[in-house]
Amino acid sequence: MAAPTPDLSLVFPVWNEQDNIERLLETALALGSGLSGGFEIIVVDDGSRDRSAHHVLRKGEAHPEIRLVTHPSNRGYGAALRSGLRAARGRWVFFSDADLQFDLHEIHRLLLHAESVDIVAGYRAPRRDPWGRRALAFGWGLVVRALFDLPVRDIDCAFKLFRREVIDAIPIASIGAFVNTEILVRARHAGFRIREVPVSHRPRLHGRQSGAHPRVVLRAVVELAMLYRDLRLPAAPAGTRAEG
């Protein structure tokens, strides 16, 4: 007999977060237990070299709401998030990072708007990252708004809630940090409604950030160009073939 469909799926991509994962799961369990509908917690271990997956499995033995999705090797943040979103069964799907920079209980700020829009996206108020990372994000936002007319102030904020239909409707090709941009751009292009709400943000205490690494930035630029080509350039007429 199939398990009942939960109201809410909580998705967390994880890469080498053994110092944060226990507290993350405890908070997520407390949050889910306080909601009126059923819930599930999906952790995607993206080829961690530490004991992140071990901690998740051990916690899952006592809490069947926890599900672990494992990538044998590191495939990238976007690939991990995509695996988690595709595995989610909830009527609403939420995702955040495992670095404890967000207060999961503030999901209630998002749920207040859930019935009136399709995506509720948090924006960090204020953002507690180093100035270089904030500057990079500001410049990235200018580029995305110019190319796609996306009226979102904090594109990469990893605190978002989606109606199930959004996840089912849009393809996700990004394997890296560009995934947040791709999801929002494709969703708006498909006509889904987006609303932003402020959420708290805290400095990272454990683990290491990788979003500003030059290789990550370069991959995001390449994926940006691919998405622009996909959405903005006219498609070839049906039945035609490119000549080589």
Res 41: pLDDT:
98
Res 63: pLDDT:
97
| HSE, side-chain direction, 13 A CA sphere, residue 226 | 14
One-letter identity of residue 96: S
Is 1 a member of any domain? Answer: no
The total of structural domains in the chain comes to 1
pTM: 0.88
Res 194: pLDDT:
97
Is 177 a member of any domain? Answer: yes
Res 240: pLDDT:
36
Is 238 a member of any domain? Answer: no
One-letter identity of residue 149: D
Which tens digit of pLDDT belongs to each residue from 90-129?
999 999 999 999 999 999 999 999 999 999 999 999 888 8
Burial of 116 (0-12, 13-18, 19+ CB in 10 A): exposed
What phi and psi values does residue 4 have, to the nearest 5 degrees?
-60, 145
Res 234: pLDDT:
53
Which tens digit of pLDDT belongs to each residue from 48-69?
999 999 999 999 999 999 999 9
Strands 119-124 and 159-163: antiparallel
Res 239: pLDDT:
43
108: domain CATH number is 3.90.550.10
**DSSP for residue 99:** S
Is 149 a member of any domain? Answer: yes
Domain that holds residue 172: 8-232
> Which residues in the chain show pLDDT less than 50?
236-244
What phi and psi values does residue 75 have, to the nearest 5 degrees?
-110, -10
Is 240 a member of any domain? Answer: no
